[in-house]
Amino acid sequence: MGATLKTGGSRAESRLLSAILVVAICLTLAPVVRLFVEGITDKGAPSLALMQEVLAQPSTLSALKHSLVTAGFGTVVSLVLGAAFAFLVALTDLRAKAALVFCLMIPMMIPPQITALSWTQIMGPSSVLLKTLGLAPPLGSPQPLYSPEGIILLLGIQHMSIIFLTLRAGLRSIPQDVVEAARISGARGLRTWWQVVLPLTLPSLAAGTAITFVTALGNFGIPAMLGIPVGYATLPTLVYQKLAGMGTTVLAEVSVLAMLIGAVAVAGILLQRFFQGRQKLHLVGSTARPLALPLGAARLPVEIALWGVVCAILVLPMFGLLATSLVPAYGVPLRLDTVTFELWHEVLFRQPVTARAFVNSFGLAAGAALALMVICLPLAWLMERRKTRLARLFDSLLDLPYALPGVVLSIAMILLLIKLPFTDATLYGTIWIIFLAYIARFFAVMFRPIQASLKQLDPAMDEAAQSVGASLYRRLRDVILPLSAPAAAAGAILVFLTAFNELTVSALLWSSGTETLGVVIFNLDDSGETGMASALAMTIVFVVMALMALIQLMSRRFPKGVVPWQT
Amino acid sequence: MKSFLTSSLFALLASTAMADKITLYTSQPNADAQRTVDAFIAANPGTEVDWVRDGTTKLMARLRAEIEAGNPQPDVLLIADTVTLEGMAQEGLLTAYQSPEAANYDAALYSPEGFYHSTKLITTGIVYNTGVEAAPTSWNALADASLKGQVAMPSPLYSGAALIHLATLTGDESLGWDYYEGLAANEARAQGGNGGTFKAVASGEKPYGMVVDFLAIRNKAEGSPVDFVFPEEGVSYVTEPVAIMSSAKNVESAQKFVDFLLSDAGQELVLDMGYIPARDGMGVPEGFPARDDIKLMAFDPAEALKNAEANKAKFSELFGAE
């Protein structure tokens, strides 16, 4: 950073930085602080009594244990699946990689409760698919997915994309020269992988594992759909059940539970930071050419195996979902004479809640993406130029609302907004509380890519504009915006797709008229309308896949880096 | 963002300009709630109804939170049981309304002050998957050791109807808490609401269950492999009463809604949707025995309200449920 920058920045910049920073801190960190205060006070005075009481309850301990078990083993499943795919896709000469990657991204983009719903449709004595094929297990046999193992399996599938993406990014930064040097020295096949590639990718593998663990820990949709029916509670579902059953009278109690989840999540994040800090490998050489180790005769069998897995985790459950949505009542086998679109018609055209939820989810997702872009673009740039102490502190904490499970953030939001300071007004029960929660939750998703792209910017460009007298606003518009636009667009796409499918945050914050799509599916299934829930879930899967396909098709016209799963 | 702004704007306009709108909180299934609202609007053009559906317990939790935040949403409640509404009436959360239609109802079916009026009879009996060999005919059959691990039922911690079912059966001399102890020893599953219980039975995962009549009878008519039994000891029942909140913003339209539900046309709709109407002199839907042949077990709402918390606690203890 040059001397001109330290002294030459305009006062306008300082003021703008402070203003945006205050807004950003209010949006992201204030709820977390409010939650913390609730847990360690009793009627205004500091007290640990409540915390001791809640932590001593047997249900708390069993939920904590269940959370650790399902998130832990779920991460192992993700790790095995995601790493296998990442190594094979990034290092070998597989064909149709783009299509494979696209299909692998879909489980991440499909809401977890739809994943759970679709899997329960293809297994157990209830399966319309198995019944139609005459393979259904006998009456009275349990649904195998209603178990810790079921939750672990689906958490693993849901989050394998995270491992896949982080690991592939790590693999791509390995210069081909290193591998070629090893090969020239006589290393072959597995040995290259074991002795050269694996050690180089361990840091990104570890970081990906930590993120996956924290995400699985906060997952609500899967343990809710698979665990609640058999009384297997994880921390997020315990919080949900307490709040749903008793209302805001138990807010203080659940805030302690929320802090407990938060503590485990933060431990996971610290672990990730630790591993990333150790990533001090200095690699040289070009990374432009992707690696393409020849698989030789094994190529076709490996390809068949990979596509088989994709089929099993993606296509099969979707068929189950479709079959259930097409029969008139639960338990009826699907035959030509039983096919009906009645449930589709009912849920899509007769139920006003569906249209409401589409408008809400779409508006919230688009609104959050847009608002975040407006805040994050100037903020990231100003923080890059003026490293004030407050800015640095914020930088180190802004991942927190995203890292904390959605349930935790929702509780924090309710505490913060149920009584607005200095007024009688409340945001609880309005759409704004969901909107603000989305802003807090997805702040890091938008901010980090923009920040990364601005770090690579040559400050000379901005200085040149400044030296010819361009105002702050003009420099932002004409220099910074175009240069960081691809990163912002990638962030916006990710924010939009995740917010569109969101359940965990809105499950606690929805109210009359502010239902989101995730909430509607969950509630329909909960009331026994599994067919209608399946029909709506199928619709959402189609919409998400269409959106992704559209982005993929248009990706050639976008600058490099806009499509998140292609970076 | 634009559509978001537009929708917020519409919501704002709707709440200010459209005075003739009521908000309904109901525990009816989604499709029934929509049919009820459509029929009411057809009979009362110009009135709009926003409705929200959830299980009675969860709906009440939401409502409590809204009251605490000083912003209760609904004008009208149409939920499973009189016990919940009796409690709310005692707290002053309901407004009294003497509907002129009440003259056609048994006095036991509405509160004397007019705080709530029953709209239908929903009984809880036995449902079983038609794939089983022998159909159970009595409540006791479900506690028989031969059905160990095969029975599902809704949790009273979750469903209003299930709580009343518990109060009715445990209050019965021949059954009592011994019966529930038998069920617990038989590893009966008691999680979630009636929806989840029906699903478990229809899917064959738990071939026997306790469930509300209409879910079983209606789905059977659509082809689900289930059948419904009115056990020889009798059935428990809830009456899905309607009530107006004391915080209602549009009392006049709310009263119209109550009158409509209790009217001949409203009760015809109840019948048509597959429920037993509460009004005198109406028939029963297809698939039900004649109303005189349905044996209703004795039930005292005041007693049930008094014991509600103790019953829930005892139940949690027996079934180890949260």
> Radius of gyration (Cα) for chain B, nearest Å?
20
pLDDT tens-digit profile, chain B (322 residues): 445 555 555 555 444 445 589 999 998 888 889 899 999 999 999 899 988 888 887 788 878 877 877 778 899 999 988 888 988 999 999 999 999 999 999 888 899 999 999 999 999 999 999 988 889 999 999 999 999 989 999 988 878 889 899 999 999 989 999 999 999 999 898 888 888 899 889 888 899 999 999 999 988 988 889 999 999 999 999 999 999 999 999 999 999 999 999 999 999 999 999 899 999 989 999 889 888 888 999 888 778 888 888 998 899 888 865 4
Q: What is the DSSP letter of A288?
A: S
Chain B (15-74) residues lying within 8 Å, Cβ to Cβ, of chain A = 23, 25, 29-31, 34, 50, 52-55, 57-58, 60-66, 68-71, 73-74
pLDDT at residue number B16: 46
Q: Which residues 119-158 on chain B approach chain A with CB closer than 8 angstroms?
A: 129, 131-132, 149-150, 157-158
Interface contact A523-B222, CB threshold 8 A = no
Contact B142, B129 (CB under 8 A): no
Backbone angles phi, psi at A431, to 5 degrees: -70, -20
Question: Who among A247, A512, A528 is closest to B52 (CB)?
Answer: A512
Chain A touched by B225 (CB under 8 Å): yes
Beta bridge partners of B152: B189, B209
Per the CB < 8 A criterion, the answer to whether A382 and A20 are in contact is yes
Q: Which of A138, A230, A513 sits opposite B50 (nearest CB)?
A: A513
Measured between beta carbons, the chain B residues lying within 8 angstroms of A514 are none
Select from B26, B201, B215, B322 the residue whose CB has the most chain A CBs within 10 Å, as the one to mutate to test that interface.
B322
Alpha-carbon torsion angle B173, B179, B181, B187, nearest 10: -170
Q: Tell me the one-letter amino acid at B140.
A: N
Q: Which residues of B touch A513 (CB under 8 A)?
A: 11, 50, 52
Q: Do B131 and A139 touch (CB under 8 A)?
A: yes
Residues in B closer than 8 angstroms to A139, CB to CB, are: 129, 131-132, 204, 207
Q: Which residue of A has its CA nearest to B2?
A: A363
pLDDT value, residue B74: 92
Instruction: Tell me the pLDDT of chain A averaged across its residues.
Output: 82
Please report, as a single letter, which amino acid is at residue A421. Answer: P
Contact with chain A for residue B203, Cβ under 8 A: yes
Angstroms from B131 CA to nearest CA on chain A: 7
A144 DSSP assignment: T
Alpha-carbon distances, residue B174 vs A103, A448, B170, B179, B233 (angstroms)? 60, 67, 9, 9, 9
Q: Work out how many CB contacts closer than 8 A connect A with B.
A: 188
- Do residues A94 and A174 make contact, with C-beta atoms less than 8 angstroms apart? no
Residue of B nearest to A355 (CA): B7
Residue A87 belongs to what H/E stretch? helix A58-91
Binary contact (A140, B157; C-beta < 8 A):
no
CA gap A376, A402 in Å, rounded? 15
Here the tokens at position B50 are: 């926003």
pTM of the predicted model, to two decimals?
Answer: 0.80
For residue B235, what are the β-bridge partners? B296
Query: What are the C-alpha distances in Å from B52 to residues A260, A540, B62, B280?
Result: 32, 21, 11, 29
**pLDDT of the residue at A284:** 47
Q: Do A329 and B200 touch (CB under 8 A)?
A: no
C-alpha distance from residue A464 to each of A5, A385, A386, A461 (Å): 12, 15, 17, 5
- B122's enclosing H/E stretch is strand B120-129
Q: Do A231 and B29 touch (CB under 8 A)?
A: no
Q: Give the SS3 label for residue A46.
A: strand
Q: What pLDDT, on a 0 to 100 scale, did the predictor assign at position B37?
A: 94
The residues, any chain, with a CB within 8 Å of residue A263's CB and separated by 6 or more, are none
Q: What distance in Å separates the CA atoms of residue B154 and residue A73, rounded to the nearest whole number?
A: 31
Residues of chain A with pLDDT under 70: 1-10, 43-44, 176, 187-190, 246-248, 276-292, 421, 424, 566-567
- Tokens for A233? 């509670």
Which chain B residues have a beta carbon less than 8 Å from that of A144?
A: none
Amino acid at B260: F
CA distance B43 to B60: 29
Torsion-angle region of residue B270: left (phi > 0), alpha (psi -120 to 50) or beta? alpha
ipTM, two decimals: 0.71
Q: Are B241 and B226 in contact (CB under 8 A)?
A: no
CB–CB contact B150 A140 (8 Å): yes
Residue B217: its chain A contacts at CB < 8 A?
A: none
Q: Do the Cβ atoms of B222 and A419 come within 8 Å?
A: no
